[in-house]
Amino acid sequence: MGSMGVPTEYYQLVAALLFTIGLIGVLVRRSALIIFMSIELMLNAVNLSFVAFSRQHGQMDGQIFVFFVMAVAAAEVAVGLAILVAIFRNRETASVDEVHLLKG
């Protein structure tokens, strides 16, 4: 194992750190753009975790999953940004607190 360099735990720690930073960003920031970026951070934390496990087990499954996640994330960003632009045009704001028409 020694020849393989950095142990998997380190990768996992970094991934968990990244994920937590992203989560906190989603929960506390008001700007929709920042929230999007935080979500990207969370997704990439998961990707890092996938790749690390893939390397540890010597299997390609994790690598393949990462491709899927990246593709879906790209699509999500495209749709999400389009919605964001539409909201901004209508309401002149990107703050999620001010978009609460669905309140019961």
Residues that bind other proteins (CB under 8 A): 23, 26-28, 96-97, 99-104
Smallest distance, other proteins to C-beta of residue 22, A: 11
Rounded CA Rg of the chain: 17
**Would you call 43 exposed, middle or buried from its count of C-beta atoms within 10 A (0-12, 13-18, 19+)?**
buried
Cβ proximity to other proteins: between 28 and 71 the closer is 28
Smallest distance, other proteins to C-beta of residue 20, A: 11
Cβ proximity to other proteins: between 19 and 50 the closer is 19
Cβ proximity to other proteins: between 4 and 81 the closer is 81
Instruction: Identify the CA nearest to 11 among candidates 71, 43, 73, 54.
Output: 54
Smallest distance, other proteins to C-beta of residue 56, A: 20
Tokens representing 60? 């390609």
CB of 55 within 8 A of CB of 66?
no
